[in-house]
């Protein structure tokens, strides 16, 4: 038998500060840039009852951990469930099993924050947030640790949602936070644009982007759904989380290829390659950059291991037992 730590969503909630998520995820992407294995998500759909089962994984050799996410959404429960198994990268033994719901906005937000730190101008001070849900909140909380924003503009189609978002962050950040009436108003003059929506179609006009803007898109990862239009992709230095994912489920990029405005060669580099220094990031102040974040095992394993270590220090979690296959299969 081996003892494995089970961490509930309550155990995980508030265990790490946003900046700690960013540090862990940055190191995970550096390892990816140096060759750590990771693959795009695999998703299975069912129509009756409607739902999907998704999984992805990564190995972070220097961290000493491997694992990923498996989550279901819909089906008869009409909800979502996030399970994160974490294994020792050397022995293969299970280290922890996490309820991944609480960490989700922070680990995903941390990937976006790493991209902003690598690709946005150093003097970026105005950020536009399109979306007002938990993912948008996670993106802003983590991104605010890598740039000192003076102005935040948020747009969501539901007025009360964008107003409550603005009120929440007005007291949380040392910045002017304003709810605006359109995505065009949010994007106008923004140094950083973050999209975190459930929209199926582009949420702003790429022609409205000022030279020098950085865009992080994280709300869609489907071949037939996209947050960014072809103009944005065409104008930008395009950086996905995984190169393989760009032609697998990155709807915005695939739509631009189909429209004939870019080819597969338009992929500049993976985020990890830029973090590791094997590829250049931003090269000029007027360059438009895009980080297309679809979610990977990189940020999941990096964040989960940081939470695991913090939980051990705090004495959190419940020990559960796993029986090695050699014993179970032989009846020992």
Confidence (pLDDT) at 149: 96
CB 194 within 8 A of CB 168: no
d(CA 96, CA 93): 9
Residues 6+ apart with CB under 8 A from 133: 161, 196, 198
Reference 118, options 209, 189, 194, 216; nearest CA is: 216
pLDDT digits (tens, 9 = 90+) for 145-175: 999 999 999 999 999 999 999 999 999 999 9
What is the model's pLDDT at position 331? 62
- Give the DSSP letter string of 207-239: GGPPTT-EEEE-S--BTTB-SS-HHHHHHSEEE
Partners of residue 320 on adjacent β-strands:
4
User: Which of 8-17, 162-171, 321-330 shows the lowest mean pLDDT across its residues?
Assistant: 321-330
Q: The pTM is what? A: 0.94
**List of domains in the chain:** 2-104+297-330 (3.30.1780.10), 111-292 (3.40.50.720)
d(Cα 66, Cα 34) in Å, to the nearest integer?
A: 16
Residue 270 has pLDDT above 80, yes or no: yes
Q: Which of 66-75, 102-111, 186-195, 315-324 has the lowest mean pLDDT?
A: 66-75
């Amino acid at each position: 038998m081996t003892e494995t730590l089970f961490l509930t969503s309550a155990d995980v909630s508030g265990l790490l500060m946003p900046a700690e998520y960013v540090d862990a995820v940055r190191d995970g992407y550096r390892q990816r840039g140096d060759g750590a294995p990771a693959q795009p998500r695999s998703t299975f759909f069912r129509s009756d009852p409607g739902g999907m089962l998704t999984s992805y994984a990564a190995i972070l050799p220097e961290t000493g951990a491997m694992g990923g996410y498996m989550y279901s959404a819909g089906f008869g429960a009409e909800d979502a469930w996030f399970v994160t198994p974490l294994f020792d990268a050397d022995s293969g033994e299970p280290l922890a099993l996490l309820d991944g719901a609480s960490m989700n906005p922070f680990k995903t937000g941390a990937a976006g924050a790493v991209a902003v730190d690598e690709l946005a101008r150093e003097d970026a001070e105005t950020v536009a947030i399109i979306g007002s849900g938990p993912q948008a909140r996670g993106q802003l909380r983590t991104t605010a640790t890598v740039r000192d924003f003076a102005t935040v503009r948020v747009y969501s189609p539901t007025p009360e949602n964008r107003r409550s978002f603005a009120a929440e962050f007005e007291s949380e950040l040392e910045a002017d936070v304003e709810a605006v009436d359109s995505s065009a108003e949010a994007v106008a003059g923004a140094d950083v644009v973050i999209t975190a929506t459930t929209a199926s179609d582009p949420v702003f006009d790429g022609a409205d982007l000022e030279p020098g803007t950085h865009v992080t898109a994280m709300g869609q990862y489907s071949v037939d759904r996209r947050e960014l239009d072809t103009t944005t992709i065409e104008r930008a230095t395009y950086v996905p989380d995984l190169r393989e994912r760009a032609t697998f489920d990155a709807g915005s990029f695939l739509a631009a290829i189909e429209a004939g405005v870019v080819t597969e060669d338009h992929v500049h580099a993976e985020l990890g390659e830029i973090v590791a220094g094997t590829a250049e990031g931003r090269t000029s102040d007027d360059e438009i950059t895009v980080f297309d974040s679809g979610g990977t095992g990189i940020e999941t394993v990096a964040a989960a291991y940081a939470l695991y270590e913090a939980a051990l220090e705090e004495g959190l979690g419940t020990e559960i037992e796993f029986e090695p296959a050699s014993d179970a299969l032989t009846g020992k």
